[in-house]
Amino acid sequence: MAVTRERLLNLMKAQCEIFSTTYNPDGIRMGNVILKQRLRGPSLAKYYPPRGPTINKLANDFKVLQLESINEREDDRIEHLAAVKARGKGPPKKMKGPPRPSLPEVRREKKQTPI
């Protein structure tokens, strides 16, 4: 005696309600396996040591005391950018306003040489 599909689906629905699982009679991939896995972020964050203070962070913290700080790397970077710009090798300036309408391209046909 064969059991009908409808009866099996009703049984599966009752099982899902009892055991609080997702009712998925068609077997569609829903990503539940991945969603049930524990998060990896906290363990990765614990693996790497915390970052130390940077010169910029320390300078911002001590601005209240009106202390001046010198960041040699930043000064060198700005000096290098100024030298590069003076040679004309710097990044192009940003466009201001809407873009210009482009001109239609004119295709030139190649001349065929007689044989």
Residues for the chain: how many in total? 115
pLDDT for 109 beyond 70? no
Mean pLDDT of the chain: 86
Summarised one tens digit per residue, pLDDT across range 55-70 is: 888 888 888 888 888 8
* Predicted local confidence at residue 96, as pLDDT: 85
pLDDT band at 35 (very low <50, low <70, confident <90, very high): confident
Strands (E), 18-90: none
* Predicted local confidence at residue 108, as pLDDT: 64
In the predicted model, what is the mean pLDDT of residues 64-92? 90
pLDDT band at 107 (very low <50, low <70, confident <90, very high): low
CB 21 within 8 A of CB 35: no
pLDDT for 75 beyond 90? yes
Return left, alpha or beta for 31; rule: phi > 0 is left, psi -120 to 50 is alpha, else beta: left
Give this prediction's pTM. 0.39
In the predicted model, what is the mean pLDDT of residues 7-29? 92
- Output the CA–CA distances (angstroms, integers) from residue 22 to 8, 10, 14, 28, 77, in the order listed: 16, 14, 11, 11, 57
In the predicted model, what is the mean pLDDT of residues 30-36? 85
**DSSP structure class, residue 28:** -
